[in-house]
Structure 1
Amino acid sequence: MEIKYKDWTIRKIAAGDKEAALAFIIPLLHEVYPNIPDVAVRWDLSHMEEAYMLADNTAMFAAFDQTGKVVGTIAIRPYDDRLDKVKGCYDVPRTAELSRCYIDSSLRRQGIAGRLLAVMEDYCRSVGYTAICLHTHRFLPGGYPFWLSQQFIIRELGNDPLDTVYMDKSL
């Protein structure tokens, strides 16, 4: 599936897109989390095919500009009930965990994130998820207000240095 817009295209990433996605995500992680030195050393990034491409209920979508450069991403995986703050809150087999939603800082507030989310929600419904959960941090540029504007509700507030907010949305 590929959705074309005036200045960019959204599609589910495939193995050939992995390097372009990483070239976008890793510098952005260092930009938004400058005080976490190992922020880009995560299992899902070093195993992108296994994390987002092999199973039918996982995906990463990316927005590509006209030159083929990734300008936004969003990912989904089954939620595994690993987060203590919301442990037991979700119907685990039917809940997806949203992550890796990033937009090029020069292109924010142009509707890319909303369109990526809409594509992701359609995908989630098509594979049988009935809810999406996520966690964000209030200091991230635009993240927390964006999720509220997309009808995500606050499930729990973290009492931690990163000011984590746990949110979810019924599909």
Structure 2
Amino acid sequence: MVITIRRATRSQIPEIVSYVMASRAKTFPGQDEAILPDLARFKETYIENPDGCFLTAHDEDGQIVAAIGYLAYEPRFPQLDLGHERVVEVVRLFVDPSWRRAGLASRLFAELTRHAHEAGIGRLYLHTHPHLPGAIRFWQRQGFAILDIQETTGWGTVVHMSRLSEAPLSASLEVDFVQNAGPPKLNGAFAANYQQIQSF
């Protein structure tokens, strides 16, 4: 089956918002169902902002089967030092269950990285959670390095990760640590959780 990847346009906003909210409800059951701020301001966040981009994957019938985006990074985590580069946050990666383990997430991310590089973005940041099956290893395969592991009251363990936008996708985790972020700081909550995270 042929998959088409498209950059979001204004006319697609209602369909995209509906898809993301439904996917989020399935992934994070019990969370607040109010529309998320970035989705409520989709045009301003992903279409009009030079630090925004949103991609969708469509099947042969034109239905959305996966999505991913990036938006301007908000420096809300004081423990992170992402340098002075232009930083965006990778968000809203969802893939329909029937399309998982088929390489679609990697293909979507590769296309998103191409857009980021062409836009002059210096660094990609994201955070994920150990309770999402395979998420940490997936992002490590995409060249992301773990920067910090944080315990929160609302979301449990949060794993902060980053990579350069122009780094090859095959770049090793060790090289990324050395060139971009330095080695992980094995103290506090990070030290307590680092070994556990490696088992995911």
Amino acid at match of 1:169: R
Residue 67 of structure 2 is matched in structure 1 by 73
What CA distance in whole angstroms lies between the structure 2 residues aligned with 1:140 and 1:17? 28
Residue 3 of structure 1 is matched in structure 2 by none
Amino acid at match of 2:19: F
Pair 1:167-2:161 in alignment: yes
Residue 27 of structure 2 is matched in structure 1 by 32
Residue 149 of structure 1 is matched in structure 2 by 141
3-state DSSP class of the match of 2:151? coil
Residue 112 of structure 1 is matched in structure 2 by 104
Paired residues in the alignment total 163
CA contact under 8 A between 1:85 and 1:158: conserved in structure 2?
Answer: no
Structure-2 change in CA distance of 1:58 and 1:99 (3 Å): same
Runs of 4+ in structure 1 over 6 Å off: none
% identical equivalent positions: 26
Q: Which range moves more in the overlay, 48-57 or 139-148?
A: 139-148
What value does the CA root-mean-square deviation take over the aligned residues? 1.5
Pair 1:14-2:12 in alignment: no
Q: Which has the higher strand share?
A: 1
Amino acid at match of 1:21: I
Amino acid at match of 1:63: A
Residue 126 of structure 1 is matched in structure 2 by 118
Structure 1 position 100, deviation (Å):
0.7
Structure 1 position 91, deviation (Å):
3.1
Amino acid at match of 1:136: T
Amino acid at match of 1:168: S
Q: Which runs of 5+ in 2 are unaligned?
A: 166-200
Normalising by structure 1, report the TM-score: 0.88
What CA distance in whole angstroms lies between the structure 2 residues aligned with 1:106 and 1:114? 15
3-state DSSP class of the match of 1:29? helix
Amino acid at match of 1:116: L
